[in-house]
Structure 1
Amino acid sequence: MAEATVVRMEGVLTMRTIAGLVDRALPEGNCVVDLAAVVEADSAALALLLEWSRRLKARGDTLSVTGMPDGLKSLSELYGLDEVLPIAG
């Protein structure tokens, strides 16, 4: 796999806070989203990650996630997103 650019997220990723992030310009190439500094997240965070993954895939790149908070990881597993949102390290 080609080298990936790390995008670090922090703070709160919920329905109230992600609106401005949906259209965020993603770096060229593969992307790793680091959620280690996220203190609160809900299903809206998963929707954001899925949208970013879709956009990257459309241009031939990949998205993976690292540092996913336990609660968000549980939601991801519950929704069957394990294969769609690969969790690195």
Structure 2
Amino acid sequence: MNGNTAVLTLPPVLTHAVAAGFARGLKPELFAAGPAEVVADAGALQQFDSSALAVLLECRRHALAAGRHFSVRGAPARLRELAELYGVAELIPPAAVAAA
């Protein structure tokens, strides 16, 4: 990631029981200040449900409202499957892979 990217790291557990608290803790500054892109890093997700999609969509909403591009890095296969099932996969695109 470069200086034009803000990274939001998702926690290992993002289920209904904790999703609302995590979403409330999102700092508007992450979305509004500086970076052209906001990347949600989902690589640590181990236990999650459809609430994780709601959190990602909330992040996307904040990013787009601030004029930022939004993408997701490291999404587990099951999360991508849930996004397809709920018809929101195109709203949470995968982050571009940086060239080595």
Classify the TM-score, shorter chain. Answer: 0.7 to 0.9
Q: Which amino acid aligns with 2:87?
A: G
Q: Structure 2, unaligned stretches of length 5 or more?
A: none
Pair 1:56-2:63 in alignment: yes
Over aligned residues, Cα RMSD in angstroms?
Answer: 1.6
Moved over 4 A (4+): none
Query: If you compute each CA radius of gyration, which structure gives the higher value, 1 or 2?
Result: 2
| SS of residue paired to 1:48 | helix
More helix per residue: 2
Q: Normalising to structure 2: TM-score of the pair?
A: 0.78
Q: Structure 1, unaligned stretches of length 5 or more?
A: none
1:5 is aligned to 6
2:72 is aligned to 65
| SS of residue paired to 2:18 | coil
More strand per residue: 1
1:76 is aligned to 83
Q: Percent identity?
A: 38
